[in-house]
């Protein structure tokens, strides 16, 4: 890479990987440990809708040892032991992942988050939620925790196209997301956005506008993955009816690399692909392991001789601007 490339980037990966960021910040190997704290979702219990998003089956991204019937502390211990052995991790972030993890009373949230943070090797929490499910009380709780511990607020946007959000039964709008990001700004915690590429009717050019959106907002981190169909979802039935044609591997890798080139280098990258257990995976079937998917995108940047942020720019003083 050029010597002018942003120092935030990992020199081999050509991106600002989240793991690299955590190591720089905390001085050791830090891993996220997924837990299921028994939450539901307003798009499932009837308050916003029913049935959930057309692609959502939480089995597809929940390890078998993270189930709500297993005590939180036991889930944490199992996850930490796994990452200690596999990666040599020394510290951990507890990731409240499944469903909407601010969708409860603030007293229950305080109890759950506090129990996670009580472990001596836990440096912080990451909380996955919807942009329409973050009360002022929950936001203040996270703000208080962030005075002493690391906090990452993960907001599921998925698409910036309101038409797509309606068609996938998402139950919120782009404005809901932008408003929540603004409410959460300046509170000493990271803000992460979740995005999916490959929705029916979405072009690559339309998806790439998401990078400009991220660049225009105070967002610290991104999770990106391809749309995939798993059993037990409306999307799987759409695939069988021919109403959902998955991206090819080449199509996805091309757009993911295009996205990264437009993503400011200061934004960390937590995820570049989605995976699901073979037993419930319907489509696409790319036949790659997780690390192979990651490097398929990284290798595309290397092939091009480009890197994260090479087509993005910043105003003086750090204000973000659109792609150049």
Q: What CATH number does residue 131 fall under?
A: 3.80.30.30
Q: Is residue 2 part of a domain?
A: no
b (16+ CB within 10 A) / e for 70-106: eebeebbebbbeebeeeeebebbbbbbbbbbbbbbee
The CA distances from residue 75 to 19, 33, 186, in Å, are 21, 8, 32
Q: Is residue 9 part of a domain?
A: no
Q: Is residue 250 part of a domain?
A: yes
pLDDT value, residue 148: 97
Q: What is the pLDDT of residues 250-280, one digit of tens each?
A: 999 999 999 999 999 999 999 999 888 889 9
Q: What is the pLDDT of residues 65-87, one digit of tens each?
A: 445 679 999 999 999 999 999 99
Structural domain span for residue 249: 18-304
Q: Is residue 296 part of a domain?
A: yes
* Positions of the chain with pLDDT lower than 50, given as ranges: 3, 60-63, 65-66, 315-324
Q: What is the pTM of this model?
A: 0.91
Please state the domain count of the chain. Answer: 1
Q: Is residue 12 part of a domain?
A: no
């Amino acid at each position: 890479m050029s010597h002018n490339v942003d120092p935030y980037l990992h020199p081999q990966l050509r991106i600002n990987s989240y793991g690299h960021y955590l190591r720089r910040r905390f001085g050791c190997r830090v891993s996220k440990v997924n837990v299921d704290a028994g939450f539901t979702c307003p798009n499932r219990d009837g308050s916003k809708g029913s049935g959930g998003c057309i692609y959502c089956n939480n089995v597809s991204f929940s390890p078998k040892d993270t189930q709500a019937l297993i005590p939180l502390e036991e889930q944490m211990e199992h996850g930490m032991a796994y990452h200690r052995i596999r990666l040599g991790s020394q510290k951990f972030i507890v990731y409240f992942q499944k469903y909407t993890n601010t969708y409860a009373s603030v007293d229950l949230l305080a109890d759950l988050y506090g129990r996670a943070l009580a472990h001596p090797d836990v440096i912080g929490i990451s909380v996955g939620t919807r942009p329409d499910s973050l009360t002022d009380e929950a936001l203040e709780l996270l703000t208080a925790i962030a005075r002493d511990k690391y906090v990452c607020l993960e907001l599921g946007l998925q698409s910036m196209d309101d038409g797509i959000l309606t068609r996938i039964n998402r139950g919120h709008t782009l404005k809901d997301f932008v408003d929540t990001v603004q409410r959460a700004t300046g509170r000493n915690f990271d803000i992460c956005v979740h995005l999916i590429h490959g929705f029916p009717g979405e072009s690559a050019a339309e998806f790439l506008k998401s990078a400009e959106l991220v660049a225009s907002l105070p967002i610290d981190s991104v999770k990106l993955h391809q749309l995939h169909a798993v059993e037990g979802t409306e999307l799987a039935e759409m695939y069988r009816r021919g109403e959902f044609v998955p991206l090819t591997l080449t199509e996805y890798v091309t757009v993911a690399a295009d996205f990264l080139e437009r993503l400011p280098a200061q934004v960390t990258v937590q995820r570049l692909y989605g995976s699901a257990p073979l037993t419930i995976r319907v489509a696409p079937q790319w036949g790659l392991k997780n690390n192979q998917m990651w490097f398929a995108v990284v290798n595309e940047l290397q092939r091009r001789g480009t890197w994260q942020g090479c087509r993005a720019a910043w105003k003086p003083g750090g204000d973000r601007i659109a792609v150049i």
